[in-house]
Amino acid sequence: MPWPYSNARNADRRRRAAVNPGSVPPAGPPTASKSRNKTTRSATGTRRSPQLKNMVSRLPILFLLSIFVVSCASNIKREAGPSEKLAEAESQVSKGHYTEALNSLDGLETLTAGTALGGDVKFLLGEVNFHLGKYTEADSYYASYESNYPDGPHASEALYKRAMAKVREIRKTVLYFFGIRKVIPADRDITPIREARLLFTQYLDRFPEGEHAAEASNMADTLLEKEGLHELDIASFYLKKGKTEAAISRASAVMDGDFSPEIREKAGLIVQQAKARMDSQ
């Protein structure tokens, strides 16, 4: 098939070749680029369009920008959700890291208020404060759990631990009350002990077969005895000071209470002695 050139053009090529053989490109059609990019045909070959040149010049910048974005994204740490923070705190408690657990629970009570997760947070806050010796705070969290989740999975444990927190609110140790000293000093406020006894009794009423039932029963009896002995000590103190009416009032209250027969008998003796002094005056 003949080349698609006119005879005039072929004659012109022959004249140019005769004068300057190297200035004439080989005969044949212009070579088309196999690239998919846009090209511009010319007598001397192909060349890239301005749009393509602009795109190619931007490639290094786009490459560096993509690397920067990926790097920044990898350095951004996703903030843990409430359930993840609670799980972390529970793990720390199991290892005895109570201070770290308290830090993990910081602000979590507000975030989970009114939710099922909120009950677990309140109870764990009570546990952490109890182990840290912050018995007033522990009592508060346990009481809040009882109030908001009375039938929750931690109800029995919260009630029992609340009673124990009340016991330990006394500045002296538990050993002080139940081991070393036989009688609580008359000048010591035993209101937490009395409140603890009532909580132990409440535990036995609600959870008679509970995990701590036997210990709660023993604690309630022990606290009642210590409370009775404490009241007898105060009545005796009034009797020694000559305040017979105050002694009778205090001892009579013991006689009418739920104390052991031995304690009530001692209270009756104080009443008799006080009345005898009043009669002799």
pLDDT bracket for residue 51 (50, 70, 90) = low
* pTM flag (> 0.85): no
Output the average pLDDT for the chain: 80
How far is it, in rounded angstroms, from Cα 55 to Cα 5? 36
Task: Give the chain's radius of gyration (CA, Å).
Answer: 46
Q: What is the pLDDT of residue 182?
A: 45
Q: What is the DSSP letter of 30?
A: P
Count of Cβ atoms closer than 10 Å to residue 19 Cβ: 8
pLDDT bracket for residue 183 (50, 70, 90) = very low
Q: Is the pLDDT of residue 104 over 70?
A: yes
Is residue 47 within a helix (H) or strand (E), and if so which, with residue range?
A: strand 45-48
Q: What is the pLDDT of residue 39?
A: 47
For residue 166 the two structure tokens come to 């009340």
Is residue 40 within a helix (H) or strand (E), and if so which, with residue range?
A: strand 39-42
Q: Is the pLDDT of residue 61 over 90?
A: no
Q: What is the pLDDT of residue 80?
A: 74
Contact present, 239 and 275 (Cβ < 8 Å): no
Q: What is the pLDDT of residue 13?
A: 64
Kindly state the greatest CA–CA separation across the chain.
Answer: 162
Q: What is the pLDDT of residue 76?
A: 53
**Residue 189 identity:** D
How far is it, in rounded angstroms, from Cα 193 to Cα 213? 18
Nearest to 263 by CA among 216, 226, 220, 218: 226
Q: Left, alpha or beta for 256 (phi > 0: left; psi -120 to 50: alpha)? A: alpha
How far is it, in rounded angstroms, from Cα 257 to Cα 265? 12
What pLDDT digit, counting tens, does each position of 237-277 carry?
Answer: 999 999 999 999 999 999 999 999 999 999 999 999 999 99
Q: Is the pLDDT of residue 173 over 50?
A: no
